[in-house]
Amino acid sequence: MLMQELVDLLNCRVILGMEFMEGLEVTACFAADLMSDVLAFAPPGSLLITGLASIQSAHTADVADLAGILYVSGKSPAEPVIALVRSQRIPLLTTELSMFEACGRLYASGLAPGVRP
């Protein structure tokens, strides 16, 4: 699924990285608030779906080579997090949808969990 399609599907607001989204494809997603779970099980290149807006969500995306972060339930990270992600050159999105509904819509639209590393 193209990132732009995902933005439309979940009524996302693009916090950062609109310029990287042109033609960017999302092939897998991983949803968790537990960053240790993300580090253990998220395939590289997947989109992180989380309600955790701390600086650790941004470091997790960097360390685990993730493609972007989607914050659910209207969460939006503070400025230091946004500054960090800006240097990583990945998109940062937020949706008003809950974790369950965001994941449900993406799964129903054909997005897969991806292969565990």
Applying CB under 8 A, the residues found at the interface with another protein are 32-40, 44, 50, 52, 54-60, 62-65, 80, 117
* Max CA distance (Å), the chain: 34
Of 7 and 67, the one with the shorter C-beta distance to another protein is 67
Of 14 and 55, the one with the shorter C-beta distance to another protein is 55
Least distance to another protein from the beta carbon of 5, Å? Answer: 27
Of 80 and 104, the one with the shorter C-beta distance to another protein is 80
Least distance to another protein from the beta carbon of 86, Å? Answer: 14
- E strand spans, the chain: 13-16, 29-31, 47-50, 68-71, 92-94
What Rg value do the Cα atoms of the chain yield, rounded? 12
> Are the CB atoms for 25 and 105 separated by under 8 Å?
no
Least distance to another protein from the beta carbon of 109, Å? Answer: 27
Tokens of 54: 């701390």
CA 106/CA 4 separation, integer angstroms = 13
Q: What phi and psi, each to the nearest 5 degrees, are found at residue 54? A: -75, 170
Least distance to another protein from the beta carbon of 9, Å? Answer: 25
Of 4 and 54, the one with the shorter C-beta distance to another protein is 54
